[in-house]
Every structure is written in C-alpha cells, then in structure tokens.
C-alpha cells in the first residue's frame, strides 16, 4: 500500500525546461557574484563544485558541507564575504528568474497536493539536493505549491547525497521510516527519478518535460503527461497500488 508520494520539482510540479532554467540561473548568479569574483573563474568553480556535490559518496558530510569544503578551495574570497552575497542573490535576483523564464503554475498542481494530504498521504518534495532551501522554496512558490505540511523537502542542508545516486532515495527512506513499497516516486527525469524503482519504489514518469538518456534501463510503472497524472491522483488510483 502506498503511504507516501515523492515529487520531483523542476519539470514535474513546476513547469519549465530544466536546461533553460540552468542557463538563466548560471547567468544570473555569475552576474551577481561576479561583482566580487572574476565572473569566468566563479562560473568554472561553481560548475566544478556542483559536480563534486552530485558525486558525493561520503555519508558523514551533508551536501552543504561538501559545497563549502570544495568551493572555497577554488576561489580566493573568504566564506564570510561570499556567503552573504549568495544569500542576497537568492533573496533578490533568483526570484526574478520566474519572469525571465515565463513560469506560471499549473492550475491543478496545488489541488493535487492538497488532495493527497487530505487523503492522509505524506508528500515529499524530492528535488535534487544541490540547492539551499531558500532556492527550493522559491521554485515551489513559482508552482504555487508552497505552504503545505510536507513530510520532507530535500535540500543541501539536510541531505548527504544527490540524484542520481540511489543512496539519495535510501536516505529519504531512512529519514521518513518508510519502506520502498510504501512509496511512489513521481518525476520527469528517467535517470534521476525513475532510478528509485531499483529500490522497490513504484515510479510514475511525467513526460511533458522529459529528460532521458540512452544509457539507462529504468522503466516506470506508470507514464503520462502532467494532466494525466492529476487525473490519476484525483481519481484515487493511488489507493489501488
């Protein structure tokens, strides 16, 4: 029986092309932090550190600690100066990306989340944990799904692993004390989201903004566009899984 539904965020609950988002994000943060660090050097350091975060296998360090340890070895500006600049960016320039990308919430996304919670399911925002909570909550605001009593919102302050590492999902199970067969993972990225199926979770591929590669063998249990997912949920079909 499914008791918990995990949702990917970007390209799933919040509708945009992830590559477009990353492109605009890197432009914006490089412009903002480029006032302190030479922009090209900053961009190279941030991208390199992001790869280190994604590849982390050290269960003793949260992803935020991996970021700090690696990034500040690559730049010659102190943490005391740069971290407030990051925080200012997420409070200001980052919020403007919504308009830059023309993002509008799906009219029934909030209704779907509310339905699940009212039906007694726990809901997790299982977005990749390379961002601080401020950046994740802002994107949730873009999708009009902020403010619900989520069981967990994964971010770099709470998680020790990133997608597509299966240990990311193992950690969610450990935190929430759910068994894999009690969980449904919903996402648009086959490599990062549908991989949850190897642990025994049911998986639902939302293919409006599909991200896939030819190197995986992950097959979802269910597949449809976002409107089809909403119909699936609101019809109570999760109760039959």
The answer on pLDDT for 216 being more than 90 is: no
- Mean pLDDT score of the chain: 97
How many percent of the chain have pLDDT more than 70? Answer: 100
The answer on pLDDT for 157 being more than 90 is: yes
Residue 81, H or E segment? helix 79-91
Q: What are the tens digits of pLDDT across the range 93-126?
A: 999 999 999 999 999 999 999 999 999 999 999 9
At residue 106, the pLDDT reads: 96
At residue 203, the pLDDT reads: 98
Q: Which CATH number does 4-16+104-240 carry?
A: 3.40.50.1000
Pair of tokens at residue 154 = 């994964």
Q: By C-alpha distance, which of 51, 7, 58, 69 is closest to 160?
A: 58
Q: What share of the chain is helix, strand, coil (3-state, %, to 5)?
A: 50, 10, 40
pLDDT band at 217 (very low <50, low <70, confident <90, very high): confident
Q: What are the tens digits of pLDDT across the range 77-96?
A: 999 999 999 999 999 999 99
Q: Is residue 102 classed as helix, strand or coil in its secondary structure?
A: coil
29 burial level (CB within 10 Å; 0-12, 13-18, 19+): buried
Q: What are the tens digits of pLDDT across the range 186-203?
A: 999 999 999 999 999 999
pTM for the full predicted model? 0.97
How many degrees, rounded to 5, is the angle at CA 6 between CA 127 and CA 234? 125
Q: By C-alpha distance, which of 178, 163, 154 is closest to 1?
A: 178
The answer on pLDDT for 9 being more than 90 is: yes
At residue 214, the pLDDT reads: 80
Q: Where are the beta strands (DSSP E) in 113-171?
A: 122-125, 152-153
Neighbours of 82 (CB within 10 A): 17
The answer on pLDDT for 178 being more than 90 is: yes
Distance CA 196, CA 200 (A): 7
Distance CA 64, CA 81 (A): 17
At residue 58, the pLDDT reads: 97
The distance of Cα 75 from the centroid of its chain, to the nearest Å, equals 26
Q: By C-alpha distance, which of 131, 133, 139, 134 is closest to 63?
A: 131
């Amino acid at each position: 029986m499914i008791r918990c539904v995990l949702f990917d965020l970007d390209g799933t609950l919040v509708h945009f092309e992830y590559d477009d988002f990353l492109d605009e994000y890197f432009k914006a943060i490089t412009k903002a932090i480029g006032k302190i660090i030479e922009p090209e050097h900053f961009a190279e350091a941030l991208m390199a550190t992001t790869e280190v975060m994604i590849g982390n296998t050290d269960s003793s360090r949260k992803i935020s600690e991996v970021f700090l340890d690696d990034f500040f070895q690559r730049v010659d500006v102190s943490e005391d100066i740069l971290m407030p600049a990051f925080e200012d960016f997420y409070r200001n320039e980052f919020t403007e990306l919504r308009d830059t990308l023309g993002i509008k919430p799906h009219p029934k996304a909030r209704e779907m989340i509310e339905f699940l919670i009212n039906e007694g399911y726990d809901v997790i925002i299982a977005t990749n944990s390379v961002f601080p909570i401020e950046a994740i909550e802002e994107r949730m605001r873009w999708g009009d799904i902020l403010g619900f009593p989520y069981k967990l919102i994964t971010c770099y302050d709470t998680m020790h692993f990133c997608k597509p590492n299966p240990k990311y999902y193992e950690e969610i199970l450990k935190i929430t004390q759910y068994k894999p067969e009690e969980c449904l993972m919903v996402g648009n990225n086959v490599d990062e989201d549908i991989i949850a199926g190897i642990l025994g979770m049911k998986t639902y591929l939302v293919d409006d903004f599909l991200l896939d590669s030819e190197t995986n063998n992950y097959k979802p249990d269910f597949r449809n566009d976002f409107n089809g997912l909403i119909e699936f949920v609101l019809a109570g079909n999760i109760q039959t899984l």
